[in-house]
Structure 1
């Protein structure tokens, strides 16, 4: 039994569908009279989004030709609600090819109660072609050849998919769960003390329970934490002190950093790195439920990350080159564990930011040794491009700029010294980043270039010049610049910088319009159907960066700027546009799926290229994509085209 609404054979839909399929290979060899007779025995079916077209136990008595729309073929898993999508079919594809054996009268070799189901994933229209119609056409050699090609292509795709699933099953079948939560890793019950307890009492609790930290409570509320290092440090300062019974309150670290019990292990790892701590109280519903230590995390995960973290923490100028290998080790493990793209990027962004901050600290110390002193005025070090969007996963070239506070209040000599200091700071940081693995930007979009370094007044002038002289080159520079993110610097200065951007861009609607016009020249491509690719008629190569990610980011950025958001990651911008009712929540989810899908493909292929010692490139031959990647990419490109069209509509294009 097929679902969907049947259309009467003599209405307008029937006429349009008949014209559409008249020259399809299944009917191409028959004359008009025979076609009318055959077509009258077919049925036109329409399906809404997510409607079942064929149930898994439906007996197949016909083929379905997709006239327009997209469907997915799925198999029901053993667990309730668990499904696996086997393939995606689109306009021109046939549903039910596996039933050709029944049509040909072949005996069943394997008795099974399982079959595949078919569901529409967008409004879809199909032509139901009964087997008796197919039988009448079967004598035509061209039709038999067409069906043979369809079956051969489908069989190849099925084998490729099966091989991939077997490989993954063998690779991961004995592995621990890929995504582990903090509550799976923490120690519980947590050892606690009251803030009024004596330090001797706290120390005794540590010894008796063989732990290196104790959570300090005030009644049931978390107040602080005392670790072994706290005890050693405080004992040194208390020597000679007349107080013999200090309380836990006087020795504890108040308001400690905590982690939620449902957070992922790598989110806890990020906290250990960024906060430079080794103990994390675990919170659930406002209460302390456990303790997580860095050593526990490394021991239980057992991915060799501890050495990587130590390398990042201890690298001096001579050993900055080791950091790249350490971060790549983390990336490889996250990718191997098949974690969500957004979480992989979050961890890597944390590590890369820490690397940059480390280089800034080393550079500051170097300048002091050279007699240049410290920063004469507050400054901000900002990244742009992929790092600014918090989506850098492998070291590429450097994209950054430097903003410092006004120097107008200084005399001419001091202004010169300030400019000299930030010039040397930029040169030193760029040198250290290069040693760590970041290549210099080929377009010289770095803080070492005076065009990308200056006080607030300079950046105000730059934005005004871009708005007045909006050439293609300045528009592309502006796109890169406006994907900014502060990595380190003075927060008050950053807020002034952000306010400056708002004031300059808010009245410049023509500037955003010109940015949108430029995107008209870079429309999102259509990835051809696998059949066309296999027959060497389709797109040979795709540049994931230029043809998918850039159109996505640029359209999203223009819309976000147009609706008052001047900073943030792609996820922040999507949430903002949902709040402004520019996007529906469902379209935001489609966008997120498209973005993470393209990023996952790019990550995996870039990592493969790196391991094969090939140049890492975003350009990929379509033949290197597996079937699932092709389908994910095709759907992603379609969604990104919709985003681009929404942006054009907003500007009346």
Structure 2
């Protein structure tokens, strides 16, 4: 647009126009336009990018739009000189524009706006006063450019509004309990049992009894929440142990309990209880004072979904005969969460917690089927999407097993212990695979399962295997290692797990060539660059994007290599991002942006793949770009760009 301002002008006229405009430089996160700020012009982005957002003080800002180079900031206020009410007796000259401030007795209206604009990286923008636009309005090319920008944004606004109305109509008024806040459900402080740390056990029990409640009492000290005591605690910590009821209540409380703010959503309370195995949550105000209490019963009585909690209880006691029915119950759970727009990372955390419990139950059932108890300590690990906590539909089995051998301990009574353990864990692994298959996990086509001797062995055997992978890093072994290093401990002995982690760390001390070879594989598979103008790119060139192959795999591998380089061998991708930040490898801003970006990518991936499942289609990871709105395409482009920066950061070490 810059040249459009001076098109068909003499040198003197062009210089006059340029003098009225000014170029500004903004650093990342600098505010370009404040909300409710009087605006006298528009900004043309020359380089970098900006985002339009609704600022919220106590929750995450809502980003509405991404503004890229050669696009305008401030279009929402153009109406203040574009809209004109012509007098009925006057026919306007089509070659001479008339503006509100040219009409006698009609003051200019400066409308305020709720949105703000900030730079999302180093940005240069040209400020163009409305006076310049007014002066150059007779230039057809400039006028067409402005109207094209406005009409494009208007299209996106209507499209987004239509999607929201359609969603609310489809789901109905009461279908979405996630819009409920904890404050709408909780028991307020007026009905919440409160006590001091120094109160006697008996006095607190009497308060609960007098109020005919089986919930809990909140223990306060100077209005700060110090603990919680439940009826379960009275039974297990007082009656069962014969403790005196005259002792102070702080001796039986749960110190520093998990709390939740009263502004949190229904689903946040629900998932907090599920993920932490609790049934009572003290609710806090903005100043961390006690606001009330929310219980599992409160949530169950409020609205659906309750399937999440029902599934949790079912999974603990499911029989082998009932395993085939569990899959549909779990799929109903993810359907509910996706329909209710629960954030994708929360959805995946909940679903993988349930899947973990299903897998643990399959392992327990397999051990029960064995003729004897395990002859040695063992650990069972997941790999792949389950290990990364990104599983939403049941995938192929992907796991391995580590157990103690004679070389790892001296507790065995005879010299045949290794053979006994080998036979035992071979049979146990087969039973685990069978039970997981009953539950809906198909056998791995590549045979990456504990039933395969390659993915099972003693601690010493695994040490030798890792040494072989790192010393002789062929392409086949590199692919095995990529799958392996997403491992997550799911069941078994914690001490052996710690020993296994140390074994991996020791192996990496000699693995510089191995890490270099892994990095070169990623250099050959760069994340696609989507930096050209978004509309032309999606309209003319790339029509589909394979999210798994082109984005998620390079992301996982790049993060994996970067983590291994800095001694981080364990954790989900989100946990590894946090660990890299703690080690100051990733800045705070990049850590935050990267997590937001992967959340965006996973949201598209999960919803696209789940819709295919619901429609009975073949499951693919290809996303059709032509079905996305402009805002969605811009959001996707920005997210991919952030993930590509991670890949480039990793490659910069080599």
TM-score using structure 1 length: 0.78
Structure 1 position 120 matched with structure 2 position 98: no
Deviation string, structure 1 residues 196-250 (Cα, Å, up to 9, x no partner): 767xx9987665432235669899986964449949x999x99xxxx9x985989
Q: In structure 2, do the counterparts of structure 1 residues 38 and 432 end up closer, same or farther at CA, with 3 Å as the change threshold?
A: farther
In 1, Cα distance between equivalents of 2:649 and 2:640: 14
Aligned to 1:17: none
1:362: Cα distance to partner? 0.9
In 2, Cα distance between equivalents of 1:543 and 1:401: 28
Deviation string, structure 1 residues 8-51 (Cα, Å, up to 9, x no partner): xxxxxxxxxxxx966xxx599x78x9699647733451330344
Deviation string, structure 1 residues 514-569 (Cα, Å, up to 9, x no partner): 211211112111235442145x2132111222222222222222222111221122
1:148: Cα distance to partner? 6.2
Q: In structure 2, do the counterparts of structure 1 residues 267 and 255 end up closer, same or farther at CA, with 3 Å as the change threshold?
A: farther
In 2, Cα distance between equivalents of 1:60 and 1:300: 50
Structure 1 position 648 matched with structure 2 position 651: yes
Structure 1 position 478 matched with structure 2 position 481: yes
Q: In structure 2, do the counterparts of structure 1 residues 358 and 191 end up closer, same or farther at CA, with 3 Å as the change threshold?
A: farther
In 2, Cα distance between equivalents of 1:439 and 1:229: 46
Instruction: After TM superposition, list the pairs within 5 Å mapping 1:113-512 onto structure 2.
Output: 113-115=111-113, 118-127=117-126, 130-131=132-133, 134-135=136-137, 137-138=139-140, 150-167=149-166, 178=179, 180-181=181-182, 185=186, 188-190=191-193, 208-212=210-214, 225-227=230-232, 230=235, 247=245, 259-262=257-260, 269=270, 279-280=279-280, 282=282, 293-305=295-307, 306-367=309-370, 371=371, 373-408=372-407, 413-512=416-515
| Stretch of structure 1 that moved more, 44-53 or 187-196 | 187-196
1:377: Cα distance to partner? 0.5
1:364 match: secondary structure: helix
Deviation string, structure 1 residues 491-510 (Cα, Å, up to 9, x no partner): 11011101100111023122
Structure 1 position 72 matched with structure 2 position 51: yes
Aligned to 1:531: 535
Q: In structure 2, do the counterparts of structure 1 residues 128 and 206 end up closer, same or farther at CA, with 3 Å as the change threshold?
A: closer
Q: Please, what is the CA RMSD of the aligned residues?
A: 4.5
In 2, Cα distance between equivalents of 1:571 and 1:275: 18
Aligned to 2:553: 550
Structure 1 position 603 matched with structure 2 position 606: yes
In 1, Cα distance between equivalents of 2:352 and 2:404: 26
Q: Tell me, which stretches of 5 or more residues in structure 2 are unaligned?
A: 84-93, 101-105
2:436 match: secondary structure: helix
Aligned to 2:17: 41
In 2, Cα distance between equivalents of 1:97 and 1:275: 47
TM-score using structure 2 length: 0.78
Q: In structure 2, do the counterparts of structure 1 residues 250 and 351 end up closer, same or farther at CA, with 3 Å as the change threshold?
A: farther
Structure 1 position 612 matched with structure 2 position 611: no
CA contact (8 A) 1:195 1:216 kept: no
In 2, Cα distance between equivalents of 1:84 and 1:195: 46
Q: In structure 2, do the counterparts of structure 1 residues 167 and 407 end up closer, same or farther at CA, with 3 Å as the change threshold?
A: same
CA contact (8 A) 1:402 1:447 kept: yes
Structure 1 position 91 matched with structure 2 position 69: yes
Q: In structure 2, do the counterparts of structure 1 residues 272 and 166 end up closer, same or farther at CA, with 3 Å as the change threshold?
A: closer
| Aligned pair partner of 2:82 in 102, 106, 124 | 102
Q: Tell me, which stretches of 5 or more residues in structure 1 are unaligned?
A: 1-19
In 1, Cα distance between equivalents of 2:272 and 2:67: 44
| Aligned pair partner of 2:544 in 519, 541, 544 | 541
Number of aligned residue pairs: 607
2:540 match: secondary structure: coil
In 2, Cα distance between equivalents of 1:179 and 1:469: 56
Q: In structure 2, do the counterparts of structure 1 residues 191 and 614 end up closer, same or farther at CA, with 3 Å as the change threshold?
A: farther
Aligned to 2:89: none
1:632 match: secondary structure: helix
Structure 1 position 627 matched with structure 2 position 630: yes
Structure 1 position 566 matched with structure 2 position 569: yes
Q: In structure 2, do the counterparts of structure 1 residues 102 and 379 end up closer, same or farther at CA, with 3 Å as the change threshold?
A: same
CA contact (8 A) 2:215 2:295 kept: no
CA contact (8 A) 2:405 2:417 kept: no
| Stretch of structure 1 that moved more, 559-568 or 143-152 | 143-152
In 1, Cα distance between equivalents of 2:418 and 2:588: 50
Aligned to 1:4: none
Q: In structure 2, do the counterparts of structure 1 residues 563 and 83 end up closer, same or farther at CA, with 3 Å as the change threshold?
A: closer
In 1, Cα distance between equivalents of 2:204 and 2:573: 47
| Stretch of structure 1 that moved more, 64-73 or 450-459 | 64-73
In 2, Cα distance between equivalents of 1:514 and 1:390: 26
In 1, Cα distance between equivalents of 2:292 and 2:157: 47
2:321 match: secondary structure: helix
2:477 match: secondary structure: helix
Q: In structure 2, do the counterparts of structure 1 residues 111 and 521 end up closer, same or farther at CA, with 3 Å as the change threshold?
A: same
In 2, Cα distance between equivalents of 1:395 and 1:365: 24
Q: In structure 2, do the counterparts of structure 1 residues 530 and 229 end up closer, same or farther at CA, with 3 Å as the change threshold?
A: same
Deviation string, structure 1 residues 423-462 (Cα, Å, up to 9, x no partner): 2221221222222222222222111221111111111111
1:114: Cα distance to partner? 3.8
Q: In structure 2, do the counterparts of structure 1 residues 178 and 313 end up closer, same or farther at CA, with 3 Å as the change threshold?
A: farther
1:113 match: secondary structure: coil
Q: In structure 2, do the counterparts of structure 1 residues 75 and 221 end up closer, same or farther at CA, with 3 Å as the change threshold?
A: closer
CA contact (8 A) 1:594 1:640 kept: yes
1:121: Cα distance to partner? 2.7
CA contact (8 A) 1:75 1:86 kept: yes
In 2, Cα distance between equivalents of 1:380 and 1:362: 16
In 2, Cα distance between equivalents of 1:81 and 1:310: 32
In 1, Cα distance between equivalents of 2:215 and 2:610: 39
1:327: Cα distance to partner? 2.6
In 2, Cα distance between equivalents of 1:204 and 1:125: 68
In 1, Cα distance between equivalents of 2:99 and 2:445: 65
Q: In structure 2, do the counterparts of structure 1 residues 479 and 182 end up closer, same or farther at CA, with 3 Å as the change threshold?
A: farther
